[in-house]
Amino acid sequence: MKKMKEEIREHLQQSIIPFWKSLRDDTYGGYYGYMGYDRVVDECAAKGCILNSRILWFFANAYLTLGDESLLSEAEHGFAFMKKYCLDREYGGVFWSLNYDGTPDDTTKHTYNQAFSIYALSSYYDASKDEESIRIAEELYGLIEEKCRDEGGYLEAFDREFSPMENDKLSENGVTADRTMNTLLHVFEAYTEFYRVTGKEEVKERLKWMMDMIAEKIYNPELHRQEVFFDAAYNPLIDLHSYGHDIETAWLVDRGVKIVGDPEYEAKMTPITKDLTRQIYETAYNRHSLANECERGVVDTDRVWWVQAEAVVGFLNGYEKDASRTEYLEAAREIWQYIKTYLVDTREGSEWYWLLDEDGVPYENKPIVEPWKCPYHNGRMCMEVIRRDI
């Protein structure tokens, strides 16, 4: 583990951080939104607000982890872009995407997107102590609670004025979902960080409510997995096992339980997170990496960059929860070796490949940077490994 930690720290400092610094747009603000497989940056591509939120989160946390003042400067740059352009001053909330010059592109308001802004702003507040950032986070929290949920839970997509619309952005696999596991997970993640830095009791209560929903509506104890897409009444819409989301959920829920600090919820959620980790190890982990997902019994054997990153953290977390599960520790080490060998793009001016086939060959139709391809998963993996006392 000492060698692995050293390698991952070096990779963060020498590869991931310099790459994302190089995408800084000092003319129009924020960070460039697209780099193709050919490593050519499209400076006129749309800038996803999720991408820029995640970059803000990344630099704030990199500063908190490493103490390098240049990283705080990058975070300040990201925050300036968010508050000037990503926020809708007329109707509230955060846009889906912007044109390269900061003008609105897609004005959809999505709960998932609002949550990632809270996540980023909370971490930035921790790094900078900028009171404006946490004030904006509080406004977005209030907006989610007022406009993005009903009596059953969190809703998904809205137009600019927060009238409900079809959830095409967080629906996949041929279904259109009224509710998704993915949105609930990332609202939980964002509120965990928001609660950590503010200590607001009402946020703590929302976290408990979300853990109840995960345990009672999302988690399927018979199949040892989470369901993914739901109708409004939480009826699953498809037979789908998302391997990456389950291993990510396991450690994010454990983190939330720890921060909430309620023994009742530790007793309630720990068996679930242990079960998810065990099931992923037994069904998805092979050839030193994780397959993508299983739809209607058919396994997608492609290797996705973010799934491998979350698996490293998830298996380390599983080992921390139960030190007898040494196979989890070995799996984390093996996946890191896989990442180094296949996923890290060693071409000059690049970062990680987006997608590999089962044999580790990259798909050349997948870009290096796009609205979903960011330093959130792999950068977070590095910082989690560095921070954990294993």
pLDDT value at residue 237: 98
Residue 80 pLDDT greater than 90, yes or no: yes
- Give the burial class of 283: count Cβ atoms within 10 A of its Cβ; 0-12 exposed, 13-18 middle, 19 or more buried: middle
Residue 190 pLDDT greater than 90, yes or no: yes
The mean predicted confidence, pLDDT, of the chain is 98
CATH class of 2-387: mainly alpha
Question: What b/e string do you get for 220-241 counting C-beta neighbours within 10 Å, with b at 16 or more?
Answer: eeeebbbbbbbeeeeebbeebb
What are the Cα distances from residue 57, in Å, to 139, 195, 319, 357, 380? 18, 16, 26, 30, 9
Helix (H, G, I), strand (E, B) or coil at 283: helix
Domain boundaries, the chain: 2-387
How far is the C-alpha of 35 from the C-alpha of 65, rounded, in Å?
Answer: 27
End-to-end CA distance of the chain: 7
Q: Is the Cβ–Cβ distance between 181 and 156 less than 8 Å? A: no
Residue 150 pLDDT level (bands cut at 50, 70, 90) = very high
What percentage of residues in the chain have a pLDDT greater than 90? 99
Q: What is the mean pLDDT of residues 236-242?
A: 98
Q: What is the mean pLDDT of residues 117-128?
A: 98
pLDDT tens digit string along 83-118? 999 999 999 999 999 999 999 999 999 999 999 999
pLDDT tens digit string along 56-70? 999 999 999 999 999
Angle at 43 between CA 64 and CA 87, to 5 degrees: 55
Residue 279 pLDDT greater than 90, yes or no: yes
Alpha helices in 44-180 (DSSP H): 49-66, 69-81, 111-128, 131-147
Q: What is the mean pLDDT of residues 8-34?
A: 98
Q: What is the DSSP code (8-state) at residue 40?
A: -
| Closest among 270, 234, 275, 230 to 253, alpha carbons compared | 270
pLDDT tens digit string along 215-228? 999 999 999 999 99
Half-sphere exposure (Cβ direction) of 210: Cα atoms closer than 13 Å: 28
pLDDT value at residue 303: 98
Q: What is the mean pLDDT of residues 265-294?
A: 98
Residue 360 pLDDT level (bands cut at 50, 70, 90) = very high
Residue 171 pLDDT level (bands cut at 50, 70, 90) = very high
Residue 71 pLDDT greater than 90, yes or no: yes
**Tokens standing for 121?**
């702003």
pLDDT value at residue 259: 98
pLDDT value at residue 390: 87
Q: What is the mean pLDDT of residues 323-336?
A: 98
Cross-strand pairs, 295: 240, 298
Helix (H, G, I), strand (E, B) or coil at 36: coil
